[in-house]
Amino acid sequence: MDKLEIEGGVPLRGEVAISGAKNAVLPILAATILADGPCVLEGVPDLRDLDTMIRILRELGVEVEKGPGILTTQVVDDSKCRAPYELVKTMRASICVLGPLLARRKRAEVSFPGGCVIGPRPIDLHVAGLEGLGAEMRLEAGYIHADGRKMSGREIYLGGAYGPTVTGTANVLMAAVLTPGTTVIEHAACEPEVADLARFLVAMGGKVVGIGGPHLEVTGVDRLTGARHRVIADRIEAGTFMTAAAITHGDVVLRGADASHLTAAIATLTRMGVTVERRADKSIRVRALERIRPTDIVTLPHPGFPTDLQAQFMATLCVADGNSFVTEKIYPERFIHVAELQRMRARIRKEGPTAIVEGVDYLSGAPVMASDLRASAALVVAGLAARGTTLVDRVYHIDRGYERIEEKLVALGARIRRISDRTPAPLD
C-alpha cells in the first residue's frame, strides 16, 4: 500500500488548480440513469470513488466512457436494478443510485451501506423520504428492495437529528423528477453539491424550483433527455489547500475554487489571522504572515462550517498561539484523526463531541496511519508543517477524494513523495 513521505517546514508558494467536486459528480453520475440520451460531464476529477461509481453504473446498464476531465454516459440496458454489495461496501455514496432506479425503472435492489469509521451513518431519512413518495421498501439479506410503481408527488420533510441529509436530499430529488405530480422537499440540504445536481436535472429537462435553498419544489416530467454539464469545483479540496498554505506560513493562489461556497471556511481562517483575498480573476489568495491564532469551530450543515474540513482545520489549530474548541455537530464521533495528530506532538483532549486543542510551538514528524479520507488529508497538512519526516500510511484513503495531491503539493514547493509498494489497497 502506498505511503506519503513528507519533509515538513517548507512554506507553500505558487498556484494550485482546484479539481471538480467529488461530492457533486457522484450523485450527478447516478442521475445519468434517468437520461434518455447521452450525457457529457466536464470538469470531472480522476478519483478512486469515481471509478467505483462508474463500475456500479456499468453493472446497471449504463455505458460510461472516461476521458481526461470528461465522462460520457449512455443508458443501454434499462432492465438492471441491482447494485452489488461488493461495490456498495467500498463507497457509501453508491446509495445515490436508489432514487434514479426507482424513478426510471420503478424497482431497485441496492446493498445496504455498511459501517463507517467517522461514526454511525444511518439511511433512515433516505428510506422515509422515498416511502413518503409512495415507494415500498424492505430490507432483505443485506439489500434494500424497493418498488416504485405507486410513487406520486407529495410533501416530504427531510430533517434529522443532525439536520438535513445531503445524499438523502439527492435521492428524493432524483426520484421526484420523473414521478407524476408535485413533490415538495422541506428541510432539504443546501450544500452546493445538491444545487449542482439540481441544475443538472434541470439541464436534462427536469422541473425543480428553489435550488440552493431548504424548500425544493419538483414537478414530475415523463422523460429526461441527455445533457452536458460542468461540475462545480471541490470546495473541500480548496479548503484543504487553504489550511496547507496557512499551517506552512505560505502564499498560495487557488484557481477555479468558488469563494461563495467557502464563506464559513474563509471566515474561520480570517479569525485565525490568515489573510484570504478574493481576487478579480476569481482566484483566491491565501497568506499566513503571522502565527496562527486560536479559534472555536462548530461544524454545521451548509452554509455553516463543513464537517469535511474539521480535521484539516484542527491540524492547523494544533500550532495556534493558544487553545481552540472544535465541536463536531454532524458526526459527533468524527475524531479518529486525533490520536494520530497526538503522535505528532499535538495536545488535544476530547470531551464528548468537542476537542480542546492546546496549541504547541511545533509538530514533530512521525509515522502515522490514515483512517478515512479527510483524516488522512489532515495528517498531510500536519506533516507539511512538522519538524522532520512524516510517513502517512494507507494513502488509498486520500486517493478516494483528492486528485494527484502530492503532485499539486510538489508544484507548491512541498517536499512530499509517494512511496509505492505493490501490495494492492484493500477494498476497505
Rounded to whole angstroms, how far apart are CA atoms 76 and 62? 6
Restricted to residues 359-378, the positions that interact with ligand EPZ (CB under 6 A) are: 373-374
Question: Is residue 165 a contact point for ligand EPZ (CB under 6 A)?
Answer: yes
The DSSP-derived string for 90-108 is T-GGGGGGHHHHHHHHSEE
Rounded to whole angstroms, how far apart are CA atoms 164 and 16? 32
Which residue's CB is nearer to ligand EPZ, number 38 or number 160? Answer: 160
Restricted to residues 325-364, the positions that interact with ligand EPZ (CB under 6 A) are: 330-331
Residue from 93, 201, 233, 288 binding ligand EPZ (CB under 6 A): 93
Catalytic residue from among 39, 96, 116, 318: 116
* Residue 405 zone, left/alpha/beta (φ > 0; ψ -120 to 50; rest): alpha
Burial of 178 per CB tally in 10 Å (0-12, 13-18, 19+): buried
Which residue's CB is nearer to ligand EPZ, number 158 or number 284? Answer: 158
Residue from 13, 121, 278, 350 binding ligand EPZ (CB under 6 A): 121
Q: How far is the CB of 15 from ligand EPZ (least distance, A)?
A: 24
Question: Is residue 168 a contact point for ligand EPZ (CB under 6 A)?
Answer: yes
Rounded to whole angstroms, how far apart are CA atoms 417 and 325? 33
Stretch that binds ligand EPZ, among 34-42, 115-123, 199-207, 281-289 (CB under 6 A): 115-123
Q: How far is the CB of 342 from ligand EPZ (least distance, A)?
A: 22
Is-contact 398 380, C-beta < 8 A?
A: yes
Is-contact 386 344, C-beta < 8 A?
A: yes
Question: Is residue 192 a contact point for ligand EPZ (CB under 6 A)?
Answer: no
**Of residues 173, 232, 175, 179, the one with CA closest to residue 208:** 173
Stretch that binds ligand EPZ, among 164-172, 202-210, 347-355, 360-368 (CB under 6 A): 164-172
Restricted to residues 302-321, the positions that interact with ligand EPZ (CB under 6 A) are: 307-308
**Binding residues for ligand EPZ, total number by CB under 6 A:** 27
Question: Is residue 160 a contact point for ligand EPZ (CB under 6 A)?
Answer: yes
State the residue for C-alpha cell 483566491.
284
Restricted to residues 23-42, the positions that interact with ligand EPZ (CB under 6 A) are: 23, 26
Phi and psi angles of residue 51, each rounded to the nearest 5 degrees, phi first: -60, -35
Long-range contacts of 200-209 (CB under 8 A, 24+ apart): 200/28, 200/31, 200/227, 200/229, 201/31, 201/34, 201/173, 201/174, 201/177, 203/227, 203/228, 203/229, 204/31, 204/34, 204/35, 204/39, 206/177, 207/177, 208/173, 208/177
Residue from 32, 111, 167, 240 binding ligand EPZ (CB under 6 A): 167
Question: Is residue 397 a contact point for ligand EPZ (CB under 6 A)?
Answer: no
State the virtual CA torsion across 199, 202, 208, 211 in degrees, nearest 10: 10
For the beta carbon of residue 389, count every other beta carbon within 10 angstroms. 15
User: Is 116 designated active site?
Assistant: yes
Rounded to whole angstroms, how far apart are CA atoms 297 and 305? 7
The mark string for 228-267 relative to ligand EPZ (x by CB under 6 A, - otherwise) is ----------------------------------------
Which residue's CB is nearer to ligand EPZ, number 102 or number 320? Answer: 102
State the residue for C-alpha cell 453504473.
57
Q: How far is the CB of 236 from ligand EPZ (least distance, A)?
A: 6
Which residue's CB is nearer to ligand EPZ, number 141 or number 161? Answer: 161
Q: How far is the CB of 290 from ligand EPZ (least distance, A)?
A: 30
Structure letter (DSSP) for residue 261: G
Residue from 401, 403, 412, 416 binding ligand EPZ (CB under 6 A): 401
Stretch that binds ligand EPZ, among 40-48, 102-110, 158-166, 238-246 (CB under 6 A): 158-166
Rounded to whole angstroms, how far apart are CA atoms 235 and 290? 25
Binding site for ligand EPZ (CB under 6 A): 23, 26, 92-93, 120-126, 160-162, 165-168, 189, 193, 307-308, 330-331, 373-374, 401
Catalytic residue list: 116
